[in-house]
Structure 1
């Protein structure tokens, strides 16, 4: 460790569950980890970097893991022109996404173009244009919880319903459609594709990315990557064709990403796979993480009755029991907002953000970072920095009680020690969907708090230490009881019906 730049193996001390995965990857690939320092012009020190060296010595991969907030800002924000690209990973970039979609593109004009096209549907102004739709989906989520628990008499496992909530929001914005029933098979299909994507593209999910000769063979991982690529094209291409058919028939198609792609295809120079992958990543990128945060919130609440009590008191005092919170009430409910920010900090969907990639040699405070180095934002360590978050391992919403900024505005603060968290990344690759996610999280979590008290099931302890997936981190499936807090819950939840688009 040196000046906040951590060597790759230091992850082992911070994230214990990665030990077995990394050890397996190293043994299977006959690699070993070697620390090295290099001199540059006899006066520049090499940053504390490590490289994975295959035994056949044909390739080296360098990683810098950033665990200090000041260095993170300097690298990702102040020097974003150098540290905003992506490594061309074999499984994720070449096999699944094939260089398409903003998550896998190199930092170039194509990436800027695709991010601009997709980003126009994720600005705060655009999200406000979908306000009624997001509000409706939050209502249906509460109604589904209420119905599935037989008005609070039985348990519910929130995984499926939270995925459907986030999925419907993204489907409306991307394709102008929604799933019209909780049992719709597309919900399960989306969850299946998302988990497979996360399983194949985690930071240590496969060894093909590091051992070039393995890429020459038709390995199981290679087959899975190609199969997932084909599934994305099949599933989201079919939906895109449905939108095209409606437009060709002169039907009224609501403004959505698919409509924009089809209308501007030639102007923007998009091929068919460009459009399919933009739709696929737009939808998938907004589902797993958002649904996971709501699941973590529901997993945490039973262990923190004092948090529920204080939130209920705030809601009753500010909103009352005749109506529930809306997007406009967020500023008036600072404790409920603080709960959401604390969940985002304690259980960020990714311990390690998607690595950036340097496109030039760079010297940072005397440390030489070569071109083609992977730069990893260590969200876990940043979120457990005692300087910024005293008693960092405790779940304590009070730490955010005076934080009135959105996540997007907080990320722009010049003083990084005042930034709320790093869950959405940093720099030019920061998540473009922050405004959508914040609106979804606010409406879902504030309304769960308004409508119910959340209880653990007897003899079914909820583990806060176990995770689902290799990359995206969500709690393992669990069940809770949702007890309606007052009589108004029933009449309000039954005031709207399911619709199809």
Structure 2
């Protein structure tokens, strides 16, 4: 080797070493956190399973705001209600974007609202969604909720072992009606199964170590697919997901244009597409994202609720006493909500006890900021540690106990609680924060109240038998992995409380049958729905 070449190589090594000298280290003015190693920072400490437990331990050690140095990136973790209020709510103008999530964006082709950075496209979509999901609009969907709830109750009578499937059909069918104008009538519907299977795979992918590594070290993205097999898998997920979401959209768009569609959210989406000229793929993902959000989170919360009723039987006994006093032999209705404070508290406690967005979906700050005397650098991921807040014993004594009494005096809706100026008065953090606050929370709350009130009114929940005289108790700590979690499938013995209640359910479902055609779709739609007919002639003139 010539002396000149040796000198050049030495210089290059020196430059590389100098440029990497700070990578992986925590600057002195950043929020505290666990000790780092050069280059990798805290990567070696990141858990592969149950990350919420480790993040909770770090919160106990480093306080309400700590930082994780992950290679070239930094993540700031907020673990108190006040920190979430101060940053994600009060400073939402700079804390409402998303960090780069490379593989998630491949699955979504950049069109999933959940992962979309804050900008013009996101704001346009949010405006459309707000018109259709605001509190006034939510009231018009009650007939849908009534129908699907009674269908779920009937399903519990006919095949109680399939309670998870009946819950999923309940939340999915409500959502398909609002978004696309059709009911999901069977627990065996292939598109229903595809939705839940696909979203579970997407959530798992987002929690994969490799997915995080390609975000933290972008140079890895230059690897070919054979060296980065998770990218190939993400592309395959996109093909299947796009087939479902864009397929739903194109079908309903065609029906809207020719005047055969039933009123639904996509009527407004077609109108917006005509005005804004965005792609069918984006429209498909807007409607598809609402479908997955409306189907998955509410169903996961209800599955967790049934698990809690098996593990904490005194809760169901107290709830039934209230229901029997107020409702007697009739089904509870939404008009009973003010007179059922314990049931309302069960709804809140279900969302606290089993938060599906267990570590939230990270926000990103778009410029340098300072909080509690520490710097939060531009581009940092900002994670709201839902699990730690919900399980803070100072906030919720004996937090792993399912205890609705915590909320007995709390008459706020989730939206009112999220907007309460006193952070300590917020009930739970399941619906997000700031400008990313879930717009469908009014609908979700009503669906949860109806389901929880009526399931407790109608049924008893017991652990399943192991076949040898023992019982199979579900494990509250056995959760699925990924960005969004829920209890892993468990068995339960679900039986009607008495013959009278069983008869009421059958009679109520028989009444609903008169509203449906031979395919189980609405014969005549309920009055009062918010959508106006799409005037195709005006749009094509």
The normalised TM-score by structure 2 is 0.80
> Which residues in structure 2 correspond to 1:333-352 (within 5 Å)?
333-352=340-359
**Unaligned segments of structure 1, at least 5 residues:** 11-16, 24-46, 54-59, 150-155
In structure 2, the partner of 1:297 is 305
Q: Does 1:500 align with 2:528?
A: no
Identify which of 378, 381, 385 aligns with 1:374. Answer: 381
Between stretches 80-89 and 390-399, larger displacement belongs to 390-399
**Cα distance per residue 1:193-235 (max 9 Å; x no partner):** 1111111123756232223233222122111222222222211
2:30 and 2:376 in contact (8 A); partners too: no
Please identify, of 213-222 and 274-283, the stretch whose mean Cα deviation from structure 2 is larger. 213-222
Hey, what does 2:398 align to over in structure 1? 391
The equivalent position to 2:263 in structure 1, one of 247, 255, 261, is 255
Unpaired runs of 5+ residues, structure 2, are 1-25, 37-44, 52-64, 467-471, 523-541
Say yes or no: does 1:214 pair with 2:240.
no
Q: Distance in 2 between matches of 1:303 and 1:176?
A: 38
Q: How does 1:94-133 map to 2 (within 5 A)?
A: 95-133=106-144
Name the residue aligned to 1:283.
291
Answer yes or no: is 1:240 the counterpart of 2:235. no
- Cα RMSD (Å): 2.4
Change (3 A) 1:416 1:3: farther
1:422 aligns with 2:429: yes
* CA distance in structure 2 between the partners assigned to 1:173 and 1:142 by the alignment: 21
Q: Supply the distance in 2 between the matched residues of 1:204 and 1:73 (Cα, whole angstroms).
A: 30
Corresponding residue for residue 67 of structure 2: 49
What corresponds to 1:26 in structure 2? none
Q: Pick closer, same or farther for the CA change 1:464–1:205 going to 2, 3 Å.
A: farther
- Rounded Cα–Cα distance in structure 2 between residues aligned with 1:173 and 1:9: 49
Per-residue deviation, 1:101: 3.3
Q: Which residue of 2 aligns with 1:71?
A: 83
Q: Give the Cα separation in 2 of the matches to 1:438 and 1:69.
A: 21
2:200 counterpart (195, 203, 207): 195
Contact 1:6–1:67 (CA under 8 A) maintained in structure 2: no
The SS at the match of 2:349 is helix
Counterparts of 1:64 and 1:446, CA distance in 2: 39
Show CA shifts across 1:140-186 (max 9, x none). 0110010113xxxxxx1422221111111111111001112222222
Q: Which structure has more helix as a fraction of its residues? A: 2
Q: RCO higher in 1 or 2 (8 Å CA, sep ≥ 6)?
A: 1
Q: Using the TM superposition, give the Cα deviation of residue 18 of structure 1 relative to its aligned residue in structure 2, in angstroms.
A: 6.6
C-alpha distance in 2 between matches for 1:469 and 1:20: 9
Q: Distance in 2 between matches of 1:405 and 1:274?
A: 35
- Aligned counterparts of 2:217 and 2:163: Cα–Cα separation in 1: 39
State the Cα distance separating 1:66 from its structure 2 match. Answer: 0.4
Q: Secondary structure, in 3 states, of the residue corresponding to 2:132?
A: coil
Per the TM alignment, residue 428 of structure 1 is displaced from its structure 2 partner at its CA by 1.0
Q: TM-score, normalised by structure 1?
A: 0.86
Indicate if the aligned counterparts of 2:345 and 2:404 stay in contact, CA closer than 8 A. yes
- Counterpart of 1:319 in structure 2 is 327
- Once the 2 structures are TM-superposed, how far is the Cα of residue 443 of structure 1 from its aligned partner? 1.0
* Partner Cα separation in structure 2 for residue 106 and residue 130 of structure 1: 30
Native 8 Å contact 1:6 1:66 kept in 2: no
What is the aligned partner in structure 2 of residue 448 from structure 1? 455
TM-aligned CA deviation for residue 264 of structure 1:
2.5
1:153 is matched with: none
Give yes or no for contact 1:4–1:68 (8 Å, CA) kept in 2.
no
Deviation of the 1:8 alpha carbon: 7.3
- How far, CA to CA, are the matches of 1:467 and 1:303 in structure 2? 15
SS in 2 for 1:80: coil
